[in-house]
Structure 1
Amino acid sequence: MKSWFPLMLALLLALPIPPASAQQRPVGAAPTPPLGWNSYNCFGSAVLEDEVKANAAYMARHLKSHGWQYVVVDFLWSYDNPPGSNFGNPQQYRLPDGAHVPWLTMDQWGRLLPQPRKFPSAQGQAGFKSLADYVHGQGLKFGIHLMRGIPRQAVWAKTPVLGASGITADMIADTTSTCSWNNHMYGLNMAKPGAQEYLNSLFQLYAAWDVDFVKVDDLSRPYHAAEVEGYRKAITQSGREMVFSLSPGETPVAQAAHVAQHGDMWRMADDFWDEWKAVLGMMAYARQWQGKDREGHWADCDMLQIGRLSKRGPVGPERYSRFTNDELYTHMTFWSIFRSPLMMGGNLPDNRELELKLLTNDEVLAVNQQGRNPRELYHKNGYSVWYSQAPGPQGGVYVALFNLNEKPGQLALNLGELGFKGKVKVRNLWEKRNLGSFKTSYGQTLNPHATALLLLTPE
């Protein structure tokens, strides 16, 4: 039968043509959305080396065979958190303006280093090399978080800039460019001699540590275009392939071409947490971004709020995700159909059977890794339908159905709206079972806040 042809034609015509500026850099370090774990949602600013290793070991044992590979140390690894402090208190993340205590761990070139009390293998300015070796030894990849700019204490100390003779930190800092929620750093004036050399020196260090992934915070909101370009140049100059993740959002949609040219992934919104209204908000952001990313460059919905969260802050008490089971499946389904990077936020060794099931369904992960051109078909009456093109010659389509209402309801899908003519085979991907063949429509009753993820193929 030739019922696949109208569908394929419609999907091809719907494919966006990226702006010329977005075509200048080919697919780089992230040809598909990265899958990994990030320390922030369970450990805030205070993850310890043994905890990173425990999550890496769990990933290697349970998740690596399903495509998971990145282990990322987030927020303030150079900061010596006071013992017993409440890590949910934002004031714990701040240095008073002009204060020299507590001091961030830093080398003579103004480059931050891992705090040895948190990361014992970093003693003697050894950096993250030993921890990266451990992660790589598990067959995984290693990443770190940075705050944008240069440490204020380097500016106060006038540390020299490696690779820029006669230039010191105070000569390249933009002291008017600061982060509204963390005052450890000043921005860089990229027009000043030595500013690019400073970033180059950072990434020479990270390359020596064998870093594979770098998340740069306070970069996208507001959008610091010159520094975005500076970080990209520094990664290229380092000679090591690294995923470049921009954070946090809301990244301006008007900068879609620029961020796709220079970044591998970028946050669409501020921090996402385990509240239903945040899921609805993320869907709204995704509507603005659909069709504006491209292969190898990904709009990012933020970390997965799945599993054991906030063990040491930063938001709320220690808990398993507050999402209901239906909401957890909706959360994972939407991140998958939209092709967001999947960065697990919960502490992996605390996973139960539920979390493992959510993270290891290969048919669902294929939607995230292989779907093409995700789009919303419609959003009305409290229901939303998203779809993307499945790989292969059959003309298959991935379809995600969402009941966003507070009561159960039936969602009826008109198959003709997806370009199908004739009978269509329907497979439920979460349940891994075929549901039969349907000619004109497919309907399913969904619980409140529930989802169904389907593969449709012409019979």
Structure 2
Amino acid sequence: MLRGLMTLSLGITVLAAGTARAATPLDGVWLFDDAPSYPGVTMVQLSSEGGKPRGVVTTAWYGPMEMRNLVVQGGKATFELRNLNDKDHATRQWTAVLSGQTLKLSGDIWYAHVEQSGRHGTTKDARARAFKTTALPPMGTLAPDGLARTPPMGWSSWNKFAEKIDDKTVRAMADALVATGLRDAGYVYVNIDDGWQGTRGPDGAIRPNEKFPDMKGLADYVHARGLKFGLYSAPGPRTCAGYEGSYGHVQQDAKTFADWGVDYLKYDLCSGEWFYDDADKVQRTYYEMGAALRATGRPIVYSLCEYGRFEVGAWGRKVGGHLWRTTGDITDDYATMARIGFDKNGRAEHAGPGGWNDPDMLEIGNGGMSHDEYATHMTLWAMLAAPLMMGHDLRQSSPEVLKMLENREVIAVDQDALGVQGKAVRRDGTTEVWTKPLADGAVAVALFNRGEAAATMTLLPSDAGKSGLTAVRDLWRGADLPAGSRDFQVPAHGVVMLRVTGGQG
């Protein structure tokens, strides 16, 4: 049956089939047909040669997963599997129980409870189902390429449509960007997030699924409207929604994306969390795709989505990144948006022309927050010099939503050529004063009220680094205020956003 262990480059062990007599009824190859998509268990291999039990669970999402703390008693095995997606439960308990000629496997991983039944297999079956691992390249450094001199602006499909996105909807979003004036306000990227991928052809090339019959034609449609086209992939075998990732096909996928006319790639760690579990491996997998994109010769904005791990802002540019996520996913509620925007926004010194901290997409227009809360959302992202990626159904944009998203003076703060990320200069209970210096010498000032009741907030010239103020403009009201304006009524969860000039402090 099983005669030892083969060690792969990932440092994960998988069992090699041989001819030794089984020491326990569980020893051998067990095959799982019609496995649920997550985590996609296809095979279990067990050995107890030499009195020490060893085992591997092979999955579609995470490849070969070594059994930890494996204990075999008669026809039952108990063990743990590493569970990197859920940081609060780094390992999870599993069991494998023999029932007649069937092995019943059960356990938990990330969001799923798994119960599968397997049958005996052969050495040949084990070879056929073995996961093909790939090695990462050595780390390198990519020079700046001149893209993303200001934070990217556009629309992404995920927040509203998740994986239920299709060609027709993307074309409608492109048309809506033009018809609403959002394109002319600066929102030029039309990005398909997870859910477009199909299978790979005999040559290994990725093909879109049936919802996207002609990806090149779709890109051409977007480009014809003065817009740019973005796609999504992942360094692991599976994307977050369970579609085909780029694992083992990085260079091939980069070339395919370039051939289709892609202008923007979001690269989401997802199942790669299991393979790339330390700073070195995470940096090298993002460098691998960054180098592959550069090798195509097509200018492609590269968005690193690895949730802010390992101080990504310190190395994001080095791997070719133009923006990098600083946090987990945003949701359409004030508490999550505020926690991300105020507290998980990345170190300001890492941001600037060509590379930006990304606190995730905009939720404005999706309906989960009030007008004042969405104003805080938009203001905070502008003060952070964050990418402005809308995530609602553009066809259903109310006049109020369009007025907020198209405010040219607020957008100008986000897109300011100096590229400085704003920060808090004064905090008092639930109120915060933030400033952002601008290229023309003016300063953007935001008075945020994170409290549950309206508050009076005072603007001090020293907040903006000025000895006195000569001009004060309210950007949301579009009104010039008396230079001596100091006290402002700020609604609960709301903001007052100003542009001020004055003498040097």
Matching of residue 447 in structure 1 with residue 491 in structure 2: yes
What per-residue deviation string (whole Å, max 9, x for no partner) do you get for residues 8-64 of structure 1?
Answer: xxxxxxxxxxxxx99973353211101000011111112111110010011122211
Partner of 2:212: 119
Partner of 1:430: 476
Partner of 1:316: none
Contact kept in structure 2, 1:56 and 1:138, CA below 8 Å: yes
Counterparts of residues 384-423 of structure 1 (less than 5 Å):
384-392=432-440, 395-423=441-469
Which ranges of structure 1 fall in alignment gaps of 5 or more residues?
Answer: 1-20, 79-103, 123-127, 152-178, 189-194, 308-319
Matching of residue 216 in structure 1 with residue 260 in structure 2: no
Contact kept in structure 2, 1:27 and 1:295, CA below 8 Å: no
Contact kept in structure 2, 1:31 and 1:296, CA below 8 Å: yes
Counterparts of residues 31-46 of structure 1 (less than 5 Å):
31-46=149-164
Partner of 2:359: 301
Q: Tell me, what secondary structure is at the counterpart of 1:421? A: strand
Q: Tell me, what secondary structure is at the counterpart of 2:466? A: coil
Q: Cα distance 1:375–1:39, how it changes in 2: closer, same or farther (>3 A)? A: same
Counterparts of residues 151-162 of structure 1 (less than 5 Å):
none
Counterparts of residues 309-324 of structure 1 (less than 5 Å):
320-324=366-370
Moved more, 369-378 or 35-44: 369-378
Residue in structure 2 matching 1:68, options 166, 182, 187: 187
Identity among equivalent positions (%) equals 31
Q: Cα distance 1:451–1:215, how it changes in 2: closer, same or farther (>3 A)? A: same
Task: Give the Cα separation in 2 of the matches to 1:34 and 1:275.
Answer: 23
Q: Cα distance 1:23–1:248, how it changes in 2: closer, same or farther (>3 A)? A: closer
Partner of 2:252: 201
Task: Give the Cα separation in 2 of the matches to 1:24 and 1:386.
Answer: 33
Task: Give the Cα separation in 1 of the matches to 2:332 and 2:140.
Answer: 33
Q: Tell me, what secondary structure is at the counterpart of 1:304? A: coil
Task: Give the Cα separation in 2 of the matches to 1:414 and 1:210.
Answer: 50
Q: Cα distance 1:388–1:332, how it changes in 2: closer, same or farther (>3 A)? A: same
Partner of 1:259: 316
Q: Cα distance 1:273–1:406, how it changes in 2: closer, same or farther (>3 A)? A: same
Q: CA deviation at 1:375?
A: 2.2
Task: Give the Cα separation in 1 of the matches to 2:219 and 2:457.
Answer: 47
Partner of 1:6: none
Which ranges of 4 or more aligned residues in structure 1 deviate by more than 6 Å?
Answer: 21-24
Q: Tell me, what secondary structure is at the counterpart of 2:329? A: coil
Q: Tell me, what secondary structure is at the counterpart of 1:63? A: coil
Highest CA radius of gyration, 1 or 2?
2
Task: Give the Cα separation in 2 of the matches to 1:75 and 1:185.
Answer: 10
Q: Which amino acid aligns with 2:337?
A: V
Counterparts of residues 10-409 of structure 1 (less than 5 Å):
25-26=143-144, 28-61=146-179, 62-78=181-197, 104-116=198-210, 118-120=211-213, 122=214, 128-150=215-237, 184=243, 188=247, 198-218=249-269, 224-253=282-311, 255-262=312-319, 263-286=321-344, 288-307=346-365, 320-370=366-416, 372-373=419-420, 374-392=422-440, 395-409=441-455
Q: Which amino acid aligns with 1:397?
A: V
Task: Give the Cα separation in 1 of the matches to 2:242 and 2:185.
Answer: 39
Q: Tell me, what secondary structure is at the counterpart of 2:415? A: helix
Task: Give the Cα separation in 2 of the matches to 1:279 and 1:33.
Answer: 19
Give the TM-score normalised by the residue count of structure 1.
Answer: 0.72
Task: Give the Cα separation in 1 of the matches to 2:494 and 2:153.
Answer: 24
Task: Give the Cα separation in 2 of the matches to 1:136 and 1:184.
Answer: 26
Q: Which amino acid aligns with 1:145?
A: Y
Q: CA deviation at 1:400?
A: 1.0
Task: Give the Cα separation in 2 of the matches to 1:396 and 1:355.
Answer: 27
Q: CA deviation at 1:150?
A: 4.3
Q: Which amino acid aligns with 2:316?
A: V
What per-residue deviation string (whole Å, max 9, x for no partner) do you get for residues 250-289 of structure 1?
Answer: 3332x32211322111111111011111122113444642
Contact kept in structure 1, 2:327 and 2:345, CA below 8 Å: no
Q: Which amino acid aligns with 1:137?
A: A
Q: Which amino acid aligns with 2:183?
A: K
Contact kept in structure 1, 2:228 and 2:263, CA below 8 Å: yes
Q: CA deviation at 1:442?
A: 1.9
Moved more, 410-419 or 398-407: 410-419
* Greater helix fraction, Structure 1 or Structure 2: 1
Q: Cα distance 1:285–1:207, how it changes in 2: closer, same or farther (>3 A)? A: same
**Number of equivalences:** 354
Contact kept in structure 1, 2:235 and 2:246, CA below 8 Å: yes
Q: Which amino acid aligns with 2:502?
A: P
Task: Give the Cα separation in 2 of the matches to 1:296 and 1:148.
Answer: 23
Q: Which amino acid aligns with 1:260?
A: R
Which ranges of structure 2 fall in alignment gaps of 5 or more residues?
Answer: 1-138
Contact kept in structure 1, 2:177 and 2:187, CA below 8 Å: yes
Contact kept in structure 2, 1:27 and 1:297, CA below 8 Å: no
Moved more, 232-241 or 212-221: 212-221
Q: Tell me, what secondary structure is at the counterpart of 2:191? A: strand
Q: CA deviation at 1:148?
A: 1.8
Contact kept in structure 2, 1:34 and 1:342, CA below 8 Å: yes
Q: Cα distance 1:379–1:53, how it changes in 2: closer, same or farther (>3 A)? A: same
Contact kept in structure 1, 2:308 and 2:324, CA below 8 Å: no
* Greater strand fraction, Structure 1 or Structure 2: 2
Q: Which amino acid aligns with 1:455?
A: R
Q: CA deviation at 1:187?
A: 7.8
Q: Tell me, what secondary structure is at the counterpart of 2:308? A: coil
Q: Tell me, what secondary structure is at the counterpart of 2:360? A: coil
Partner of 2:23: none
Q: Cα distance 1:22–1:379, how it changes in 2: closer, same or farther (>3 A)? A: farther
Q: CA deviation at 1:419?
A: 2.0
